[in-house]
Structure 1
């Protein structure tokens, strides 16, 4: 098995540091220290912390269980959508609801001072909305979601529901309430 590159180690460390301490609360020294890399080596791989944050956002999104939305082993798209959010809730529970969603955290942390990062995260959100909207369209074709619902709007509402719930979970660390909010919210958005 090949040894992970120093660049990958820095990205992995940044993902954890940004998630746990926020973008503004994380410096390059903390990232390189966590990666076991000399601080100066950071700039051999990234022009800035902002450039690294965009790579981290992409890495985080790539690790999402979003392929569950296309899982042919689950015939009903509505079950794929609800199952997807169940897995996302389990992942949030796996970090004791302490850190929220890294994408949402990055969007908030960078909106004012790092608009390039915030814009990049918004494109990640847009792709996520598109994947959810495709699953909603299939659920409509299968007769499980009313055809009068706008799939793109429902996809955006599902992402916003998730991000709001993840943010509040971070503040209150109440997994039971977060599960109820997300589960009920997803159901209401899909079937009314």
Structure 2
């Protein structure tokens, strides 16, 4: 089996490095040291740290999409069960990290939206993709009478992503699953109810 390229090593390691240290806390020295590659390799593969962060964000988003494929897009499950499966799967991911790191999308949104137009624009695209995935399953649930049509699916999806990111932010501060569990309890007891 071929060895991964140095670029690939930097990207794969970079997901964890940026997730754990943040953009500002991870210089090129830390990024390459964590990847186990010479520091000079970075500039051979990335024109800037912003460009690198964009690639890392895409890789992280691809991993999220895999989870969405097995949960939100699982046509064997009713819509509400798909959403529950998605949040439960991400919760397992967060637990494995000791409730410390939250979501890279949310972390970069808080840290970089005022400092990098390149990353801010890229984060808008990623958030739109996440919101669209939620909206798709919500529309399915509404069409099947499983979720009330009182609210627009796009509005609910935007609310879901914002609330979920907020719960993960609070989880990081508390280093506790409680904000995540509270989010899920309220969501499934209120917003994701069938028509009355």
- Scaled to the shorter chain, the TM-score interval is over 0.9
- Which residue pairs with 1:31 in the alignment? 31
Where does 1:106-145 land on structure 2 (aligned, <5 Å)?
Answer: 106-145=108-147
Q: Residues 169 and 178 of structure 1 are in contact (CA less than 8 Å); yes or no, is this contact kept in structure 2?
A: yes
- Which residue pairs with 2:74 in the alignment? 71
CA distance in 1, matches of 2:150, 2:191: 12
Unmatched runs of 5 consecutive residues or more in structure 2: none
CA deviations on 1:19-65 (whole Å, 9 max, x unpaired) are 11111111011111111111111111101110011111111111011
- Which residue pairs with 2:185 in the alignment? 184
CA distance in 2, matches of 1:185, 1:130: 22
Query: RCO greater where, 1 or 2, for CA within 8 Å and sep 6 or more?
Result: 1
CA distance in 2, matches of 1:29, 1:179: 34
Shift of 1:180: 2.3
CA deviations on 1:71-100 (whole Å, 9 max, x unpaired) are 1232x1111011111111111111011111
Q: TM-score, normalised by structure 1?
A: 0.95
Unmatched runs of 5 consecutive residues or more in structure 1: none
Shift of 1:122: 1.7
| Other structure's SS at 1:86 match | helix
- Which residue pairs with 1:45 in the alignment? 45
- Which residue pairs with 2:82 in the alignment? 80
Q: TM-score, normalised by structure 2?
A: 0.93
